[in-house]
Structure 1
């Protein structure tokens, strides 16, 4: 009987012994010196061990967070060029750019001679509702006096931005008169669509600068307006568009492709193959379409272009695209930072991977575009071609190639006018930006006579008065303009006109005026009219 009772109590006794053993073991562990361990509940990696030792034993005080960030950055250099670590202080701006919005007051500003000047005011935004105008100069933001002090753009943004619904009081100088405003912050859009208008009879034009969470919505609103104007042919401008959210590019491709056509598929060692297909009736499945690309078109831009080229849906005009065929996923980390890690490659409908090689190191990868320039890749079609990779054939029998970007169907060389040293200095010193703003503010009544970019393009000339004013302004920055070549003068006059239009109508005005002389746009119109 006693043996049976002992067997019944035996499991409970073992449990109590184990619990007591673990308790005393942890107590003993807490009293042991740093380097001594009898056991550990988890195994730390070498990097973490080194950081712990530095934190606990190093001779001088040191911020281990900085060391950890540097260690992560170094690790990522051994992967691909697009796996990146985003420090906590930079993450908000990165996320805002992808979200396509932020919380603030809705102005563009620049700092001239230690004074914050209002360059433009968002139509319908908080600042316009409060009464701010182009040309206002900030004297005080909240409790901070800002005039005549060394201040940079990041500091200004920190002062002006804040939670939606919060208020900020500002004092500005307007025509030598102080004015005080109370501005209620709101949601400010970061538009990914620069321009959308009828560029020629029955021909629409849309330019996208990125693919954010709002891009497809912006695109559809623009297309609806163009459809109301009976658009029959389209130019989609993706030059300089570095990509963004893949799904947004897929949604736009779906508006051009019919049936159940494959748009793109992704695949990686730890990610199963995923196909993205057209799934609905698109807004522009019929009608001629031209896509504009250049060496700055990357990632999601190449997904969209590749799908339309593979299905013979669009003619691609411009120069070879960047060549980024890797898909990143963002993982938020516990300290507020994030890791954007490459998890897959994407492939066009024909199976093309257009990622350019990166096995020669990050420096060579980053210098590849410069190599294109030096080797004539931006100047002539033969040097711009990418026909060394695997060849594929479209349904209409056209040959296309994988690796190293997307080669356009029609090549247009880069315009070398306007890239001389003197004109470059106008930009690096921001001389041209300062001049355009100051001349516009001083002559705002003249500019306000024009009601839209089209009337401005036809009715405004950069005459001798404007040119002489620029020449005098540039002299202050030691940039003589009296020896420019005729082609450089012509380029600069056209650029000034476009920048004045931007000053009044933001990016929409700039592109509507600049496109009139843009060689790639002119070639696209020729192709559409064939």
Structure 2
């Protein structure tokens, strides 16, 4: 063989490898399993979105947004992207998934070869978030660890501070405190922003960082600083981590000799079974009518919402429908059997924290003129998500359809102005819920006006407006100061340390007697006052505006005495929790702080004779009703 014949093939190979290297593609990189997984993951996400998203998808937009997401996440701030595969201003024509993948692969490998210190897995996650950010607020990426935690919340137990959160514009936002958890007990609210954890700024955290800082072993403490919209000062909380209660029925009990009460905190895999068990227990106690409390219930499994709704209707009643651009996600759901509560009067309680599955249940009850809805306008989430697992055990949640109440109304509120405006919309509503309802109805276009089964006016486009609107009990600064400083918890703990044996001997076997007759004695009230002072409360002689400065609450003696009964009532409820458990906390709270429930108990004539209410509100006659 001549030297020329030997060298030529080797030279050709060398030139090819050189060209590949100059283009930013390295054969070693391609064979790296982690890079293959990252690229596979990106393709999985795009395919799931294109194949399942309820609305139209634009591959050019999906790709460009993913590229922008990646570039923003690159740590090297000196990187020049002009003229490279990372150039977000370059014009690309993405005709199909292969085009999108090839372009992204080129950008990915360019970074991997030229910037080896970059975390490529994190960059892919950022690109996925950028891609999903073009869709709707509920189509999201879920990291592997977070996926496991979400599964735990619906099917197991975990230890932590007990909140559901989203990261909105780099800020941890409380979606809802988990009922009965440490955050809920402290009075942390939906919409609160966690701006610092253990005196370190939490702005810019990703989901996993939040979980790493807030979850932990039972009994350990974490300090969080919270900004609450409308409050000029940040609030500091010390939260003691605990087992987070995962049952979905907070409590069930009899309000009187014939009225049962069931509070559902979310819709998980066991909710229907728990609900039926609660209903049977209440029936055994004489329940003839039921209050269903869905306040601050953020939703959950669609199947469980349908199963709960079904219990209130006869067979063949339309409960909900779903619509999508993909026909396999279109459905009309009717009750398959006669529900165990189909003939029982019902009042459902809702508020701005009632969302998704809660709105499916309350929407079916309202649309079918089955019962009364009482409270404040609900959140307004009318989208259905499905979760898809990715190659590394992370997940994406993709909106696959819209759901519609039986009348055909979509209660989804607009999300065109971005995720932040969407989430915080509830904080922009009128403080008076009646005014909020009036303003909402005035701006609803004619196309979103609907009728219930028997002709009452109802509205789409922004949650469910209750039949009877009630202002919630307000929370005073004194009450909030007590909760934020854990005075109620610490006071009850100290009280039981000193008086536990005597208290249990008198009351432990007589919870009903405790609810009706227990009051704090003078010594206990003095101890409470001292504990509040120790935490920074300052009493003044003259009535001035209550002020909060840092860790100090300034309040007059007269105002303190006026507000003290509410604080003592909360501590009574806390005493019930620490002695009998969370399910016995709510009856005591409801005895003292529940304007909606008090109003509901006056409405049974209307709820039990809804036809009369329909006639009053629609001007219909009985014969007209029978024809509908």
* Range into which the TM-score falls when normalised by the shorter chain: 0.7 to 0.9
Structure 1 distance, partners of 2:267, 2:589, is: 23
Q: Which residue of 1 aligns with 2:217?
A: 156
1:391 to 449, 452, 459: 449
Secondary structure of the corresponding residue to residue 531 of structure 2: helix
| Deviation per residue, 1:476-530 (Å, 9 max, x gap) | 3323466345553232222121122122222211111111231111111111256
Find the counterpart in structure 1 of residue 491 from structure 2.
Answer: 435
Aligned counterpart, 1:406: 464
Unaligned runs of 5+ in 2: 1-11, 31-35, 37-97, 163-179, 182-211, 221-242, 540-554, 607-628
Once the two structures are TM-superposed, the CA of residue 49 in structure 1 deviates from its matched residue by 3.3
1:429 Cα deviation after fit? 3.7
| 1:507 matched residue in structure 2 | 582
Aligned partner (choices 460, 481, 495) of residue 570 of structure 2: 495
Aligned to 1:194: 250
Alignment of 1:59-74 (within 5 A): 61-74=117-130
Q: Could you tell me which residue of structure 2 aligns to residue 479 of structure 1?
A: 537
Aligned position for 2:598: 522
CA distance 1:80–1:34, shift in 2 (3 Å): same
Give the aligned partner of residue 8 of structure 2: none
Distance in 2 separating the partners of 1:501 and 1:339: 41
2:572 touches 2:588 (CA, 8 Å); kept in 1? yes
1:116-137 superposed Cα distances (whole Å, 9 cap, x missing partner): xxx99xxxxxxxxxxxxxxxxx
Residues 278-427 of structure 1 aligned to structure 2 (within 5 Å): 278-374=335-431, 376-377=432-433, 382-383=438-439, 388-389=444-445, 390-416=448-474, 418-420=475-477, 422-427=478-483
Q: CA deviation at 1:403?
A: 1.0
Between the aligned partners of 1:31 and 1:52, the Cα distance in structure 2 is: 15
- What does the per-residue CA deviation read over 1:162-209, in whole Å, with 9 as the maximum and x for residues that have no partner? xxxxxxxxxxxxxxxxxxxxxxxxx99720000111111111100000
> What does 1:234-313 align with in structure 2 at a 5 Å threshold?
234-271=290-327, 272-313=329-370
**CA separation of 1:74/1:431 partners in 2, compared to 1, >3 Å: closer, same or farther?**
farther
Q: Distance in 2 between matches of 1:388 and 1:461?
A: 49
CA distance in 2, matches of 1:314, 1:26: 78
- Are residues 1:56 and 2:107 paired? no
Secondary structure at the residue paired with 1:334? Answer: coil
Q: Distance in 2 between matches of 1:400 and 1:379?
A: 16
How far apart in 1 are the matches of 2:424 and 2:334?
35
CA distance in 1, matches of 2:277, 2:13: 64
Which residue in 2 is equivalent to 1:222? 278
Query: CA 1:330–1:489 in 2, change beyond 3 Å: closer, same or farther?
Result: same
Structure (1 or 2) with the greater helix fraction: 2
User: How far apart, in 1, do the equivalents of 2:575 and 2:434 lie?
Assistant: 29
Where 1:93 maps in the other structure, the secondary structure is: helix
CA distance, structure 2, for counterparts of residue 493 and residue 79 of structure 1 = 48
| Alignment CA distance shift 1:295-1:107 (3 Å) | closer
Per-residue displacement from partner, 1:60-98 (whole Å, max 9, x unpaired)?
A: 623222222223223333221111211112221111112
Q: What is the aligned partner in structure 2 of residue 135 from structure 1?
A: none
- The alignment partner of 1:515 has SS state of helix
Contact 2:441-2:459 within 8 A present in 1 as well: no
Q: Whole-Å Cα distance in 2 between the matches of residues 68 and 57 of structure 1?
A: 16
Q: What is the CA deviation profile of residues 429-458 of structure 1, one whole-angstrom value per residue up to 9, with x for unaligned ones?
A: 434333333433443224423225422211
Q: 1:234 aligns to what SS in structure 2?
A: strand
Partner of 1:34: 21
Identify if the C-alpha distance between structure 1 residues 453 and 53 changes in structure 2 by more than 3 Å, giving closer, same or farther. farther
- CA deviations on 1:250-297 (whole Å, 9 max, x unpaired) are 001111011301100111122442111101121111121100000100
Partners of 2:286 and 2:13 lie apart in 1 by 77
Unaligned runs of at least 5 residues, structure 1: 1-24, 109-118, 121-150, 160-186
Matched, 1:102 2:157: yes
Seen in structure 2, the aligned counterparts of structure 1 residues 379 and 391 have a Cα distance that, compared at 3 Å, is closer
Shift of 1:459: 2.3
**In the alignment, which of 131, 148, 151 is matched to residue 92 of structure 1?**
148
Offset, 1:423: 3.2
| SS state at 2:21 partner | coil
> Within 1, Cα distance between the matches of 2:389 and 2:312?
35
Task: State the Cα deviation string for residues 372-405 of structure 1 (Å, max 9, x = none).
Answer: 145x347775347577242211222211111100
Q: TM-score, normalised by structure 2?
A: 0.63
What CA distance in whole angstroms lies between the structure 2 residues aligned with 1:33 and 1:152? 44
* 8 Å contact from structure 1 (residues 320, 384) kept in 2: no
Task: Find the counterpart in structure 1 of residue 289 from structure 2.
Answer: 233
The answer on whether the counterparts of 2:315 and 2:339 sit within 8 Å (CA) in structure 1 is no
Q: 1:461 to 1:353 in 2, by over 3 A?
A: same
1:361 CA drift (Å): 1.5
Aligned partners of 1:79 and 1:523: how far apart in 2? 40
**How many residue pairs align between the two structures?**
433
CA distance in 2, matches of 1:529, 1:508: 29
Q: With structure 1 as the length reference, what TM-score do the two structures score?
A: 0.74
Q: Which deviates the most, 437-446 or 251-260?
A: 437-446
> Aligned partners of 1:279 and 1:153: how far apart in 2?
43
